Amino acid sequence: MAQILGLMLLSLFITFILLIPFIDFLYKLKIRRQKQKTVDIFDNPTPLFDKFHSWKQGTPFGGGVLIITIVSILTLWSLGILNVAVNLWEVFVLLFTFISFGLLGFYDDLKKLANGKGSPFFGLRFRYKFLIQWILALIIATVLYTQLGYTFIFIKGFGLASLGFLFIPFAAFVIVSFANAFNIADGLDGLSCGLLLICLGAFLVISGNQLDESLGVFIAVLMGSIAAFLYFNIYKARIWLGDVGSLSLGAVLAVIGLLTGKIIALAFIGGVFVIEIGSSLIQILSKKFLGRKILPVSPFHLYLQKIGWDEPKIVMRAWLLGFFFAILGLYIAFIR
């Protein structure tokens, strides 16, 4: 445990030291949110979103690049010098997820910069991004199934339920869902990273209980880097993750849950993310099949803004709710 905590502190220190010059670097490259009207997946304008986010124009994004770089290098370095049991396929799955979804988000961020002027669309179209997410998720799920032998989920009261080959589409669905859920929750300063820090703390406890040292090292390094980033990301944020960070972090959270075998616990530990994507999914399906909106507005945090809640108030209370969900998830994971 001392090694794990030491790595967390080292990651926090390195990220914190590098973030200030990195923010200055983004300003010099003019990698900042452009003045652009956004649209939903049906290419319809989203005036309410623009209303609450117009003041954030000019804030640099792309912090995920630094986090992915530091965490990947420090994880490999730590596993190389520490006397811990290393599962190479597990490490591959974690880093492949982190980097591949990060590259997809990075491309989307570049599209946002390129489309910032003279284009009616902001970023990579959702249908293309969604398709690539599924391709990456199916590759990851196939490795989990073929190389790591994951074929089951554990359901309290029923025990192990073997899915066989169906584990691949199931795991891919979990990965894609959390990647998009995190991306949706990243709309408010500090919301997604604060929730992620709570979720990772819960899974660090689970990995320690399972004696999964390589997973514990990755989680600890990631927690340190996220904690340092959060210092600059809370209201009013000096830097954002960008899609390069939000897609990669959401996907890797799902993979951590899959690697621990605590799928049901993952749904509770990441409960706020589930609420965010659930509200958005209800709205999308109602527009698609009913031709009208069931909810006044989505995702849920945007609804809270609409009824008058201040952004910091929403974030702080979401963190408290996330802490409750994490405790509940741990209870479900450990109850006998």
* pLDDT tens profile 123-137: 577 888 999 999 999
Residue 34 has pLDDT above 90, yes or no: no
Measured between alpha carbons, how far is 270 from 251 in angstroms, rounded to an integer? 12
Measured between alpha carbons, how far is 284 from 23 in angstroms, rounded to an integer? 35
Report DSSP letters for 249-261, one per residue: HHHHHHHHHHHHT
Phi-psi region of 8 (alpha: psi -120 to 50; beta: other; left: phi over 0): alpha
Model confidence pLDDT, tens digit, residues 272-318: 999 999 999 998 888 877 777 888 888 999 889 889 899 999 999 99
pLDDT value, residue 145: 95
Measured between alpha carbons, how far is 169 from 324 in angstroms, rounded to an integer? 30
Average pLDDT over the chain reads 88
Sign of CA dihedral 327, 2, 195, 140: negative
Q: Tally Cβ neighbours within 10 Å of residue 165.
A: 9
pLDDT value, residue 50: 62
